[in-house]
Amino acid sequence: MELPIFKYNETFLSRAELERLLREKNFNAIDINMAIDAYEMADTVHEFQKRPDGTPYFWHPSRVARIVIEELNISDTSMICAAFLHDVLEDSHVLTAEILEYNFGAYTSYLVAMLTKDIKAEGLLREIVEKEYVERLQNASDDAKLLKLCDRLDTFRCLEFNVKKNPIKYVMETTKHYFPLAEGSTDKRMHYVLKELQKASNKFLG
């Protein structure tokens, strides 16, 4: 019997897969439990959200975490937790940076804060928010920049499934504002993600 072939946007990292991956990479029990806690917190926050393609929103941060763990081979638990949690402050009326720091440490909280912006802003205010957000990322740690590029990479890989109303605009904005985050970096992981972004955009644009 042939196994079903899933489209990229229909894939996600399950809790069991997460635990298996971390055990294979020899993470200790404390770090595994912390990553699982981040997984479950993000899953709860995004529980009733859907992306425009109809898939559960949580699948997006779970895939960002998979990129961090599998493709970039990152073993920093703070980075993995932040990958799962990168949108929770935007989508929760309860969570704060202080709560994230208490549960996952100061660096995870910092990374999530750097990736958080006012998604409800509209019109001219939205342009101002976007400009300030990009400037903040430019002055953030390389880890924050890398996570942002991973976030964009997952969405790039989903563009053919109509996750954005204006995908061409999204590609152009990413090229203009976010590709420069990798410029001047000697981090091979940053350049890997940049190449994958270019590959994904070429696949979409043709």
Q: Ramachandran region of residue 19, left (φ > 0), alpha (ψ -120 to 50) or beta?
A: alpha
The per-residue pLDDT for 66 is: 98
pTM of the model: 0.94
Looking at residue 2, its pLDDT comes to 55
- How far apart are the C-alpha atoms of 65 and 62, rounded to whole Å? 5
Do 153 and 200 contact (CB within 8 A), yes or no? yes
Let me know if 91 is a catalytic residue: yes
- Say if residues 105 and 78 touch (Cβ distance below 8 Å): yes
Q: What pLDDT, on a 0 to 100 scale, did the predictor assign at position 64? A: 98
Structure tokens at 82: 């932040």
**pLDDT tens-digit profile of 9-45?**
999 999 999 999 999 999 999 999 999 999 999 999 9
Q: What is the SS3 string spanning 65-78? A: HHHHHHHCCCCCHH
Instruction: Determine which one of 37, 53, 91, 187 is catalytic.
Output: 91
Q: How far apart are CA 59 and CA 109, in angstroms?
A: 21
**pLDDT for 124:** 74
pLDDT of residue 122: 66
Length of the chain: 206
- How far apart CA 8 and CA 48 sit, in angstroms, is 21
- Nearest to 10, CA basis, from 157, 165, 200, 202: 157
Catalytic residue of the set 37, 71, 90, 101: 90
- The pair phi, psi for residue 56, each rounded to 5°, is -60, 135
Question: How confident is the prediction along the chain (206 residues), in pLDDT tens digits per residue?
Answer: 555 677 999 999 999 999 999 999 999 999 999 999 999 999 999 999 999 999 999 999 999 999 999 999 999 999 999 999 999 999 999 999 999 999 999 999 999 999 999 767 667 777 888 899 999 999 999 999 999 999 999 999 999 999 999 999 999 999 999 999 998 889 999 999 999 999 999 887 86
